[in-house]
Every structure is written in C-alpha cells, then in structure tokens.
C-alpha cells in the first residue's frame, strides 16, 4: 500500500467515527443513551526527553473545530515546550469531545515528530514487523493481541499501518479504517473518558456506574475499565457482583486494567524498588497476577475476560509476562490474562500526544495519579496559550 499525502480530507471531517478508536464512539453512544453531557476541560500533552519544538496545534485545532460544535480550544503559543506541559486545552460538551480525540492526538503527534530532530514516524512495513514480533510472542501462549496505536500517528496513516499490523499477526486494529483493511471489526473496551463523568456524578462508585451504563447499551460482553480510581480490586469485584445479580451466575464481563505509572495497582504490593516488570508502579506482573488470583478466589475468573494494556509494545516486558503467564497457568490451572493491547512499538521513535480530562462543570475531576491544580493550569493558560477562533 502506498503512502498517502497527509492532509485532512473531507472524509475525516464528515465521518470522524471511521478514524477514531472504537471505544470513543461506543462511549459517545453510551453518554447519549444516558443523557450525560456535562461541560468538560481536557488537556493535551506529550512526553519528551528534553525541551521540544511546538508544532501542529493550529492544524489540529482547526480540524477539531470542523468536527465539533460549542467547543473552545486553546493552544500553546510558545515555540518550545517541556515534557507534560499543556499543548492544548479543549473545553466543551463531553459528547462533542469524545469522538475527535484520536484524530486530534494523531495530527499533533505527526507534527511534533516532524518538527523535532531525533524522532521518526512509523514506516508501514517496519511497523508491521514490530507488531508481528509482539503478536508472535503472545501467540506462544495463545493470547490475542490488538493494535491500539491509532492516536500515535496521523489518521491518514491508519489504513496502511492497520493493514500491516493485522497482516503481521495483530488480531485487529482499534479503528474502522485500520480494521476494515482485513475485513475485521475494530477492537476496544472503555476509556478513562467514559468513567470520569461518572466520577463527577458518583465519586468512588464511578466504575460501577460506568459499567451499568455500558451494560444497558452494549450487546454482547460488557466491557469495563477498572483503574480510573486506582481501586482495581474493589471496582472489579463490585462490577462482578452487579453483573451476577443482574444476569445470573453465567454473566460475561470484559475487564481491562491499564494502571498508570503514577500509581501502584490495588492488586500490587507497594515496594520501593522495581524488579524489571515484576513489581512497582503501573502495569506489572505483580498487579496482573493479583487481580487474576482475586477473581479465582471469588469464583469469577471464568466469567471474566481479562484484558491488559500499557507498555506491551516492549519485547522485554512481553517476554517477562509470557514467562509469568506460563508459571501462573501451571500453578493455578487458569490463564493469568486473556487479551493484550498496545499502541507503541520499537519500530520508530515518534512523539506521542495524549489527553486527560481534568475538570467537569468547574470541578476538578481526573483519574487518580493525574490530578491537576485548577488554579495552576488556568494560570498557565492565561500566560502561555491563545484561544483558537
């Protein structure tokens, strides 16, 4: 497949759902179904090794403006930025800001990578080979692997990169554009952006209420993300109990854990060291084993499809998890996990933009570990950002 000119085509604006991670499309429909549409603020940022050149923000903002209504966008006016500094702030109705996220982040990632020496874009064949290396490792233990990388590159690259990913062993891709290259359905679970509105409404019961809403909307297996409040064990068991009460002992649930690197998972032992990917913060073996063991103890393991994500494009991490999986299965007779997704791989070193909701209806609301001081970010906006007209 030939590389295309990277523009914002008519299709991108008229049919954004084809270019977005499917879980944002599902989340928008859930919010419509539940009549939940608060005004939110989210910030876009990127992690870099050093101070980096700012690029692509105006272009991305203009594209989002064409897709959305009643949305205010502020972009950083500085020529350079530090890692994690706000590059863009978007304010508007939740339902308007769910679907454009993949497109927005992909455009920004593309331009930041181009503007900064030492970084490079994914090249389709090399990307496919890198995905294939990871998929092959998980194939050894019969675990399906999905490509969730769409937000890390320009949306016009989804077709060719999704094609190569699936060709080389990925089960599917996270967007319609990528998945349809092989006649597949896109794959996704639930994003933090679908849990946080319920955190605004219900606090610590956010995950349970998000799962209830998804269950009311979704045909087939209900997905839930369990790390937003850093209550991975508590929230998983609450959702399982609810599903059992509503659907009976044969209920089916898809649980995804994606604990961020700022947190120890509730199912992990807090330690002051990190033995490779065995212990420590974020998604490690200790955390995943812990949740699996709890599901077995509570007799829910056969009801739950357990998906894990975060950092699984790293071959070294995957090797350690594959070994741990084999040991766990031999000891318990159960799989340690059932599905894996990843979005970045070792084929290239491109800058990844990402986004977090930090305010809902004027109140600070964020996933645990990513809380934002509202006075601080508002001061930063006033001093460093301009509103896109």
Residues of the chain with pLDDT under 70: 1-9
- Under 8 Å CB-to-CB from 100, ≥6 apart: which residues? 16, 20, 63, 64, 67, 68
| Amino acid 8: pLDDT | 57
DSSP β-ladder status, 88-93 and 39-46: antiparallel
Tokens of 283: 């998604």
| Amino acid 9: pLDDT | 64
DSSP 173: B
Beta strands in 109-252 (DSSP E): 145-147, 222-225
| Amino acid 348: pLDDT | 76
pTM for this entry: 0.94
Q: Where in the chain is the domain with CATH 3.20.140.10?
A: 37-120+350-387
| 222 SS3 class | strand
Rounded to whole angstroms, the Cα distance separating 220 from 297 reads 25
Rounded to whole angstroms, the Cα distance separating 90 from 258 reads 24
| Amino acid 276: pLDDT | 85
Name beta bridge partners: 90. Answer: 42, 73
* Number of C-beta neighbours around residue 364 at 10 A: 14
- Please report, to the nearest 10 degrees, the dihedral formed by the alpha carbons of residues 295, 297, 299, 305 taken in order: 20
Q: Where in the chain is the domain with CATH 3.20.20.70?
A: 137-342
Domain 37-120+350-387 sits in CATH at 3.20.140.10
Percent of the chain with pLDDT strictly greater than 90: 90
Rounded to whole angstroms, the Cα distance separating 88 from 108 reads 10
| Amino acid 271: pLDDT | 83
Query: Topology of domain 137-342, per CATH?
Result: TIM Barrel (3.20.20)
Element (H or E) spanning 40, and its range?
A: strand 39-46
Torsion over CA: 55, 61, 67, 68 (sign):
positive
Rounded to whole angstroms, the Cα distance separating 341 from 131 reads 11
């Amino acid at each position: 497949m030939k590389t295309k000119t990277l523009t914002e085509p008519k299709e991108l604006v008229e049919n954004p759902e084809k270019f977005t991670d499917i879980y944002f499309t599902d989340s928008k429909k859930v919010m419509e179904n539940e009549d939940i549409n608060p005004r939110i603020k989210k910030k876009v940022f990127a992690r870099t090794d050093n101070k980096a050149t700012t690029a692509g923000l105006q272009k991305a903002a203009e594209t989002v403006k064409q897709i959305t209504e009643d949305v205010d966008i502020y972009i950083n006016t500085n020529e350079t930025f530090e890692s994690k500094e706000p590059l863009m702030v978007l304010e508007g109705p939740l339902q308007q800001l769910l679907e454009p996220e993949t497109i927005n982040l992909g455009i920004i990632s593309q331009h930041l990578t181009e503007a900064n020496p030492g970084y490079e874009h994914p090249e389709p064949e090399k990307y496919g080979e890198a995905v294939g290396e990871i998929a092959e490792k998980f194939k050894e233990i019969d675990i399906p692997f999905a490509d969730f990388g769409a937000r890390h590159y320009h949306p016009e690259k989804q077709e060719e990169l999704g094609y190569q990913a699936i060709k080389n062993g990925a089960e599917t891709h996270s967007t319609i554009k990528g998945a349809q290259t092989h006649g597949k359905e896109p794959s996704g679970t639930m994003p933090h952006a679908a849990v946080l509105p319920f955190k605004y409404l219900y606090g610590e019961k956010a995950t349970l209420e998000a799962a209830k809403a998804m269950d009311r909307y979704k045909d087939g297996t209900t997905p839930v993300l369990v790390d937003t409040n850093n209550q991975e064990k508590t929230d998983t068991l609450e959702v399982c109990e609810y599903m059992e009460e509503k659907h009976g002992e044969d209920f089916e649930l898809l649980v995804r854990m994606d604990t961020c690197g700022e947190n120890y998972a509730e199912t992990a032992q807090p330690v002051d060291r990190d033995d490779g990917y065995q212990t420590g913060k974020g998604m490690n073996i200790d955390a995943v084993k812990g949740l699996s063991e709890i599901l077995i103890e509570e007799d829910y393991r056969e009801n739950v499809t357990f998906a894990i994500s975060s950092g699984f494009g790293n071959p070294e991490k995957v090797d350690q998890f594959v070994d741990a999986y084999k040991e766990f299965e031999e000891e318990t007779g159960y799989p340690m996990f059932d599905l894996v997704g990843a979005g970045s791989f070792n084929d290239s070193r491109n800058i990844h933009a990402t986004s977090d909701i930090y305010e809902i209806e004027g109140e600070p609301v964020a996933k645990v570990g990513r809380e934002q001081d509202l006075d601080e970010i508002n001061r930063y906006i006033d001093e460093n950002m301009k509103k896109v007209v």
